[in-house]
Amino acid sequence: MAGTIIRNREAEVVVFRRRALIAGIFILFAFLILASRMFWLQVIKRDYFHTLAESNRISTLPVVPNRGLILDRKGEVLAANYSAFTLEVTPSQVANLEKTLDELATIVDIQPKDRRRLKRLLEESKNFESLPVRNRLTDEEMARFAVNRFRFPGFEIRARLFRNYPQGEVASHAIGYIGRITVDDLKKIDTANLTTNYKGTDHIGKRGVEASYEAELHGRTGSEQVEIDAGGRAIRSLSKATPASGSNLMLTLDIKLQKVVEDAFGERRGAMVALDPRNGEILALISKPGFDPNLFVDGIDPLNWDLLNNSPDKPMLNRALQGTYPPGSTLKPFLALAALESGKRTTTQGISDPGFFSFPGGSQRWNDDLKGGHGYVDMRKSIVVSCDTYYYQLAADTDIDKTAEFLSLLGFGRRSGIDIDGEVEGVLPSRAWKDKRFARSTPDARKWYAGDSISTGIGQGYNTYTPLQLAHAVAALANDGIAFRPHLVKQITDAATGEIREVKPVIDGRLAVKPANLAFIKDAMVGVANEPGGTSVRIFANAGYISAGKTGTAQLFSLKGEKYRESHVTERLRDHAWYIAYAPADKPVIALAVLLENGGFGGVAAAPIARAVFDFYLLGKMPDPKISKAMEANAKDVD
Amino acid sequence: MLKTWINRAFDAATKRLDGPLMMTLIVLAAISFTVVYSATGGQTFDRSLGQMRNFAVALVALWIVANIPPQQLMRLAIPVYMVGLMLLIAVALAGESRNNAKRWLHIGILVIQPSEIMKIGVPLMLAWYYHRKEDGLALKDLTVAGLILILPVGLVARQPDLGTAILIFASGFFVIFLAGLSWRIILGGIVAGAAAMPVLWNFMHDYQKRRIYTLIDPNEDPLGAGYHIIQSTIAIGSGGVMGKGWLHGSQAQLDFIPERSTDFILAVFGEEFGLLGILLLLTLYLIVIGRGLMIAVNAPTTFSRLLAGAVSLTFFTYGFVNIGMVSGILPVVGVPLPLISYGGTAILSMLVGFGILMSISTHKRLVST
């Protein structure tokens, strides 16, 4: 019995030894496989993996250039940069953003406004982008976040450069603003082949000078080779190509003047363009109401955006370039000049004004705004007292196409070529224009009628122009027929080299008129502001300088046969008030066009703003609010 | 006098230790401290010191186990196995879930992972069973042995913890294999297993399937499931023959390798010490396994033979699965690199295994035949 057990044991040991040997061979074989695999990875494919490891390790990061500054003509800062700490989030790294934001709000002040903005940015951007949650963190908030950072993966504090517009609403339509780059912007950047230069850039000019001079302001993006860790954080810098800061822009605007005018507008809607007739430099460009460009810098929140966009006052509309209004009587000096040049009128030729115009044998009457008429009216008086009947008659005697041709030389119905975007053409009516405008209508509706000429003859009817066009035209007149292209940028300074490039004035029109005719018209416009009966004479009483001007009233509401009474129509339907002017009359250095929406009669409402501009620009006088109120009241019953 | 006293004390302390195993163990531990230091950024000694503590604790366990004679160990087989099984059932009923896996059990203030116990419990139990049966090659015995093996493996696989289940299965299977499991059954099992693949596939969790896909083409999801394997092969491959030098592996130091001080520590080692380092490591492992098998072959009883053999082969399985996984030839399962990866539990169970080997190798003279 014992024998079998021993034999069994021996047999078992033999089996075990054999099995152990097989296992050993198997193990050697398995380790050989592992060693071959390592040989494959570390010897044969070593270079391949080495390259991969290097590209893992090294990342080229864009170094965003500083955006150029924007200054006014005297060096006052209009747009600048400041560095601030912002709390940003990469949404793809956060599971429940809403909940995390609630928690975060206990540490860092997060306003509903910030949340709304983030929500909007989330919809517009890709998930892996870093988006701002809160800007301008205080030191205390930064410290609190730093301590709690581990609780908020995906959130980070970054130092960023921000755009700041220290003037707030002042000149906002001219300066414009920058905003976050959208998908549409990206397409444009791509088309312009600038993708590389915009790596790392979050913002782009959206409006005004910020948009039209984007190329100069942006600068050239540099790059930095850095060693990064798996989380993409830079560990150390390997090499660097420094960026070139954007150029600084000096504008033609005089921000103090701008401010004076904006204050003079107060809460009223309208626009004003003042420029130097000798070179086309825009000294002030007003469109009221304006907006605060600072709201747009980090992405405007939807609430404010809706407020701006849906306001009936249309604060986002740049009225100076984009608003078109019938010019009313401000067109008269230009029409008179056209008549002198074409020989349809002489300076001395006059009419007797019965208070209305009608075609011989016709029954329709076009009323003068002075019941009973102005009596005997020659060309000079027609401008000084703004006699409508004179111009009804003139329109009847001239051909609309000839008139359009002449006005076109002064820039009416054309884009001026100002160096910001959005300008519109307005309407310079002619037969060809009407035919095209009503191309889909009956042939009768496309025809030009004599009656059409009559109302356009006093700047009503189909005429609509922008305040910029009127300012440009009056500047051309002031500068004896030589018109300069209006522009907002005076000089461009290369931030790196300090090299200054002056923007040269560009002549965009020469009015080939007889000097005597021009002088006659200009003299009549001096009369408007300086002679008894002149429509703005009370406003310019005791000015201390001689200015030339012309009032205008653009009718919005036609009260058939009834006398127009301001108090009887609602504010929105009141006439627009115009005033065009230049000063000093003998050697003009400033020309302007003021438009007050629903302002009523031009001489009453718009001319005081021109007075304020000239007083400040020529004499350095700040307007006295009490005096301007009194002037307005005094002028009330001129009409 | 004092000298002899010290000598005697030293003898007493080291009597049950095995020279070659201890030497290899010390070298491996030194490598572990070095690589763990590098894998934690080379800035702080926290983890290296932690790893030393892990080794120190495990060494005490090793010494205790080495001093338990195999006969005593045999008596522990049933209690250890039964307690382990109970705890596994308890986990299945009332375990704590982390990351969708029920592996942990709260006992008072302790949180334990019962599957770890079974890494020793199963081979211990099976070795005891075959020892008692002496010529236990009958089909009935195989059925019982199979049950002893399959119960805990099934429970662990259900947690789910595929890595541990594989290791427990391997450790138990080695006992049965070394006891002389018929080749016909082995081959039959392989064929049946291959045939059952499609069925098994349906039972696999999505994440497990994904790991298989990832193995076939890691670049299919380079930032998700494929990320680990892509980054670790880049690390190893870029190390070349000589390696980039200690603390100079860019993949390791810049955090590209996930789990770099635990399961993927081989990637750090391979990047910084190159092919030469890895060959050294494989050699050290071979020494451990070879020495273990030698102890097994020379062991006097069936129990100690089978146990020593299974412990050695299980050690091999650890190394093979981990290295295969990190170098991209096996799917990703949670198996640490033996004696190198940071982690107390793994080192403890590994050194308990060493203790068993040493106990068997140093107690054979006391066993009378």
B91-116: b (≥16 Cβ within 10 Å) or e: beeebeeeeeebbbbeeeeeeebbbb
Average pLDDT of the segment spanning A372-394: 90
A329 is catalytic: yes
Q: Closest partner residue to B279 among A16, A35, A54, by Cβ?
A: A35
Report which listed range, A256-270, A291-305, A614-628, is most confident.
A256-270
User: Residues A78, A72: contact at Cβ < 8 Å?
Assistant: yes
Q: Tell me, yes or no, if B188 comes closer than 8 A to chain A by beta carbon.
A: no
Which of residues 77 through 96 in chain B touch A, CB cutoff 8 A?
Answer: none
Q: What single-letter DSSP state applies at residue A281?
A: B
Q: Per the CB < 8 Å rule, is B327 touching A30?
A: no
The DSSP annotation for A357-411 comes to E--TT----EE-SSTT--EEEEHHHHHHTT-HHHHHHHHHHS-HHHHHHHHHHTT
User: Residues A388, A354: contact at Cβ < 8 Å?
Assistant: no
Q: Quick one: pLDDT at residue A2?
A: 43
Q: How many other CB atoms are there within 10 angstroms of residue A498's CB atom?
A: 8
Q: How far apart are CA A105 and CA A89, in angstroms?
A: 14
Q: How far apart are CA A459 and CA A554, in angstroms?
A: 8
Which of residues 283 through 342 in chain B touch A, CB cutoff 8 A?
Answer: 285-286, 289-290, 293, 296-297, 302, 305-306, 309, 313, 316, 320, 323-324, 327-329
User: Residues B39, B333: contact at Cβ < 8 Å?
Assistant: no
Q: Quick one: pLDDT at residue A635?
A: 45
**pLDDT tens, residue by residue, A523-563:** 999 999 998 888 888 899 888 899 999 999 887 755 444 44
Q: Quick one: pLDDT at residue A629?
A: 60
| pLDDT confidence bin for A285, thresholds 50/70/90 | very high
* Claim: this prediction has a pTM higher than 0.90: no
Instruction: Kindly state the helix (H) or strand (E) to which residue A601 belongs, with its residue range.
Output: none
Q: Per the CB < 8 Å rule, is B238 touching A34?
A: no
| Between residues A164 and B107, the one the model is more confident about | A164
Q: How far apart are CA B136 and CA B304, in angstroms?
A: 16
- At A275, phi and psi to the nearest 5? -140, 165
User: Could you give the dihedral angle defined by the CA atoms of residues A515, A521, A523 and A529, in that order, rounded to the nearest 10 degrees?
Assistant: -150
| Residue that the structure tokens 């098994």 belong to | B200
Q: Per the CB < 8 Å rule, is A19 touching B275?
A: no
Q: Quick one: pLDDT at residue A64?
A: 85
| Residue that the structure tokens 């006059």 belong to | A350
| pLDDT confidence bin for A568, thresholds 50/70/90 | low
Q: Per the CB < 8 Å rule, is B320 touching A31?
A: yes
Q: How many other CB atoms are there within 10 angstroms of residue A103's CB atom?
A: 12
> Minimal CA–CA distance to A62: which of A186, A243, A189, A188?
A243
Q: Is A399 exposed, middle or buried (0-12, 13-18, 19+ CB in 10 A)?
A: middle
Secondary structure tally for chain A: helices H, strands E: 24, 23
Q: What spatial distance separates the first Cα and last Cα of chain A, rounded to whole Å?
A: 143
- Of A329, A386, A453, A547, the active-site residue reads A329
Q: Quick one: pLDDT at residue A126?
A: 60
Q: Tell me, yes or no, if A53 comes closer than 8 A to chain B by beta carbon.
A: yes
| Between residues A121 and A487, the one the model is more confident about | A487
Q: Quick one: pLDDT at residue A626?
A: 59
Q: Per the CB < 8 Å rule, is B255 touching A229?
A: yes
User: Residues A48, A212: contact at Cβ < 8 Å?
Assistant: no
Q: Closest partner residue to A15 among B180, B279, B285, by Cβ?
A: B180
Q: Tell me, yes or no, if A238 comes closer than 8 A to chain B by beta carbon.
A: no
Residue A490 scores a pLDDT above 90: yes
| Between residues A41 and B103, the one the model is more confident about | A41
Average pLDDT of the segment spanning A22-27: 95
Question: Nearest CA to CA, how far is A203 from chain B (Å)?
Answer: 29
**pLDDT tens, residue by residue, B170-217:** 999 999 999 888 888 889 989 998 888 888 888 777 777 877 777 777
Residue of B nearest to A24 (CA): B290
Lowest mean pLDDT among A211-215, A324-328, A498-502, B105-109: B105-109
Average pLDDT of the segment spanning A490-510: 90
Q: Per the CB < 8 Å rule, is B320 touching A227?
A: no
> Minimal CA–CA distance to A581: which of A603, A609, A548?
A548
Q: How far apart are CA A615 and CA A257, in angstroms?
A: 10
Residue A18 scores a pLDDT above 80: yes
Q: How far apart are CA B66 and CA A145, in angstroms?
A: 54
Residue A6 scores a pLDDT above 70: no
Q: Quick one: pLDDT at residue A1?
A: 40
User: Residues B275, B340: contact at Cβ < 8 Å?
Assistant: no
Question: Nearest CA to CA, how far is B78 from chain A (Å)?
Answer: 23
Best mutation target among B137, B174, B254 (most A Cβ atoms within 10 Å) is B254
Please report, as a single letter, which amino acid is at residue A298: D
> Minimal CA–CA distance to B337: which of B253, B278, B274?
B278
pLDDT in tens, chain B (369 residues): 788 888 888 888 888 899 999 999 999 999 999 999 999 887 788 889 999 999 999 999 999 999 999 999 999 999 999 999 999 998 888 877 776 777 777 776 667 788 888 999 999 999 999 888 765 567 788 889 999 999 999 999 888 888 889 899 999 999 999 988 888 888 998 999 888 888 888 877 777 787 777 777 777 666 666 788 889 999 999 999 999 999 988 888 888 888 888 999 999 999 999 999 999 999 999 999 999 999 999 998 989 999 999 999 999 999 999 999 999 998 888 889 999 999 888 899 899 999 999 999 998 754 444
Q: Quick one: pLDDT at residue A630?
A: 52
> Minimal CA–CA distance to A582: which of A260, A137, A277, A305?
A277
pLDDT over 70, % of chain A: 92
**Neighbouring-strand partners of residue A88:** A132, A156
Average pLDDT of the segment spanning A159-173: 89
